[in-house]
Amino acid sequence: MPSFHYVIYLAITLSVTLVRAKFGGSRHGAFGGPTHTGHHVSARHTHYTYHPPNQIKFICRHCANPAVYPVYHDAPPSYVYVYRESGTRYSALLTGLALYNLGRCCGTHHDANVYTPHREEKCSLQIIDRSHFEETKFPCFMMSSFMEPNKTNMEILSQTKHNETEVQKSDSFDILAAHVNVKPFLQGNGSELEVRRDQECVIWHNLTLNQERHIVPCSLLEQYAETMRPSGVPVYIWMPILLGTIVSIYIFCYCCCRKKSRKEDAPLNQTTVPGYRSNY
């Protein structure tokens, strides 16, 4: 029989192997193709599953009746999962912004899902209330549906310096694509920001000679982020259960083998056999 410590070592090794297999060996998971089950959509090997409602209703602070906001019903691109799983201070707000932007893209007729980046453009999210201010940056394509449609790319580019190189059409990409790298924008480590109803989120699109500003209730972005829900049983729950099960099986098998060994060593009758020592 193997020693107890050896069995524990095997159990821990098996648990680590299962964790790596489940989450792809990466902090953010390995984003496979989308899967559709019932009323939710998800990417394989992620910690979250997307549960889009038919519509989102939200009442702003100064409104009497709720307004209806668009919802993206397909499998979200991988960058949405990256933001939700990042665990950064602004992960919920930026996840909500990404989903809100995707919903607006699918609810309009213009090509808002095709984005052309501009030289020197920067985008930021400001969280503002009466006594608080924070700011973080994010990739500009995540507010593509908010940008003014009446300004063409060439009109905006004509306002920049003459020595800047024009953005080529080949640089355009689909924001619905499965893989868009947003890791350089992940910042704000620490506890997740607690969103309050009186907070406003201001999103900025800054070019050299042009600025756009849009105000969105932070609570609305949080409501969008809540459509991304944790999938499966958390590892801190199922791993102790797995270890306990393995240890219990080991103890049970060990006791059964001890009992079987005693039966094999016992005499066939009740007569005393010289040299025999009972285990009982």
| 155 vs 93, higher pLDDT | 93
| pLDDT > 70 in the chain, percent | 64
The predicted structure's pLDDT at residue 41: 53
State yes or no: pLDDT of 70 exceeds 90: yes
d(CA 145, CA 25): 34
The predicted structure's pLDDT at residue 90: 92
Q: Using the 8-state DSSP alphabet, how is residue 77 labeled? A: P
Mean pLDDT of the chain: 75
The strands making up 228-230's β-sheet, listed across from edge to edge, are 34-37, 40-43, 48-50, 228-230
Q: Is 264 helix (H, G, I), strand (E, B) or coil?
A: helix
| 252 vs 72, higher pLDDT | 72
| Segment of 142-156, 174-188, 256-270 carrying the highest mean pLDDT | 174-188
Q: Which of 124-138, 209-223, 233-247 has the lowest mean pLDDT?
A: 233-247
- Residue 205 structure tokens: 């699109």
Task: Using the Cα atoms of residue 79, residue 80, residue 85 and residue 88 in order, give the sign of their dihedral.
Answer: positive
d(CA 12, CA 27): 20
| 245 vs 279, higher pLDDT | 245
CB within 8 Å of 171: residues ≥ 6 apart: 116, 117
73-89 residue pLDDT tens: 988 999 999 989 888 89
| 198 vs 32, higher pLDDT | 198
Q: Which of 28-37, 113-122, 148-157, 168-177 has the lowest mean pLDDT?
A: 28-37
What is the Cα gyration radius of the chain?
29
d(CA 132, CA 113): 33
The predicted structure's pLDDT at residue 11: 62
State yes or no: pLDDT of 223 exceeds 90: yes
The predicted structure's pLDDT at residue 108: 57
Q: Compute the average pLDDT of residues 31-35.
A: 46
| 101 vs 241, higher pLDDT | 101
The predicted structure's pLDDT at residue 150: 47
State yes or no: pLDDT of 272 exceeds 80: no
State yes or no: pLDDT of 268 exceeds 80: no
Let me know: does 116 contact 153? Beta carbons within 8 Å. yes
Q: Residue 4 phi/psi, 5° resolution? A: -60, -40
